[in-house]
Amino acid sequence: MFVARSSSVAARLLEEEMVIMCPRTSKLFVLNPVGTAIWNALDGDKPLDEIVKDRICTEFDVELETALAHANEFVKQLSEHDIVMTAEHPLPAKDPDTQTGKVV
C-alpha cells in the first residue's frame, strides 16, 4: 500500500510530535514520535511496509509484524479523516520540503 499526506491538512512539528489540523472538520490530531516518523515518510512513493521495515523498526526497535499491524491501523485512522490518501500504486509526489510540517 502506498500512502501520501493530504495536501489539504495543516501540520507543524511541536517538539517531537506532529500537530495536524484537518481543514474540513477543524479537528486536531497529535501524533506521537512513532506516528510522526511514519507521517514524515509518507511521500506516496515508498510502500508502507518498506517505510515500517526501513525506518520504524530500526529507529524504534520494534518487531516488524507488530509495527506493521500498528502502522496499518494508524494509516486507516488517518485515512478516515482524509488526512492521508492511500493507493495500490505510487501517488503523485509533493514538494518534500514543504509538505511534512517539519522545519523547512
> Residues interacting with another protein, by CB under 8 A?
7-15, 19, 21, 23, 26, 28-30, 95, 98-101, 103-104
> Which segments within the chain are labelled E, that is strand?
2-5, 10-14, 17-21, 28-31, 43-47, 84-87
Output the smallest distance, CB 22 to another protein, in A.
9
Which residues touch 81 (CB under 8 Å, ≥6 apart)? 22, 25, 27, 29
Output the smallest distance, CB 47 to another protein, in A.
24
* CB nearer another protein, residue 80 or residue 95: 95
Compute CA 64 distance to the chain's CA centroid, rounded to the nearest angstrom.
Answer: 17
* CB nearer another protein, residue 26 or residue 89: 26
C-alpha cell at 30: 497529535
Output the smallest distance, CB 5 to another protein, in A.
9
* CB nearer another protein, residue 19 or residue 85: 19
